[in-house]
Amino acid sequence: MNRFILKHKYLVTLAIFAILAWASRRQFSARGSILITWAAVAVTVWVLGTFVFIYYWPRITYTGLKRVITRGVDANTSSGIPINTLYPVPTIVTPSASSAGILTTGTDYLLYVLGWLDLSKGAQVLHVPDFSGRYYSMQFSDPSDGAAFAYVGTRATGAAAGDYLISGPNWEGQVPIGATQIPSPNSAVAVLGRVFMDGESDLPSAYDLAKQIRLVPLSRVDSELAKASN
């Protein structure tokens, strides 16, 4: 169902507005002239339709995104990507890509990294390798409104290797030494990463770097640090 909504989003939106207009017209049709009726319909559709679109559309879209990620992004992930795991897409994404994949449009110059976080199970530590000046970006979005609340990457944090603690809204604890905290407004987080590649011959190098972007539960980091201190 969510795949259908994502594929036919404009038709679905138009259908919702049409149903709302029809219901409004029935409500107002017996209370005045045709002009007043259609004016009331227009105002109702505009006010309620705008609210419904702004409030619910990101939730519908990101619910579909989560289902696709966890059930299988492409032929290589038919069993889905586990929660709190990042998946580097091994091939470039172009408009001619298979419709079976979640990303059916894109550019020849980027590799994508996908994931879905559930921070209610604990904070996650994101590790990124040294990109040596190569462009990359990790975008973190709140599924409740679709807004990107943080970026890690060449433009935002630099191309050097680093660790970032992604914590939920109710998280309390100590940030690991050397890590930078990124607080999330929601326990659910959609992750979209991009790694630049300089032509087809650069694909192996770009993919190798993309695979080095990984998540580790903070609890595991804490246990490893405790072992190291003993």
Q: Which CATH code, of 3.40.50.2300, 2.60.40.1610, 2.40.290.10, 2.130.10.10, is assigned to 75-229?
A: 2.60.40.1610
In whole angstroms, what is the distance from residue 186 CA to residue 171 CA? 11
In whole angstroms, what is the distance from residue 112 CA to residue 192 CA? 7
Which segment, 20-24, 74-78, 201-205, is predicted with the most confidence on average? 201-205
Helix (H, G, I), strand (E, B) or coil at 228: helix
Q: Does the model's pTM come out above 0.75? A: no
Domain ranges of the chain: 2-71, 75-229
pLDDT tens, residue by residue, 144-195: 877 889 999 999 999 999 999 999 998 998 899 899 999 999 999 999 999 9
Average pLDDT score over the chain: 76
Q: Which amino acid is at 226?
A: A
Residues sharing a CB contact under 8 Å with residue 193, sequence separation 6 or more, in sequence order: 86, 88, 112, 113, 114, 115, 136, 137, 138, 139, 210, 213
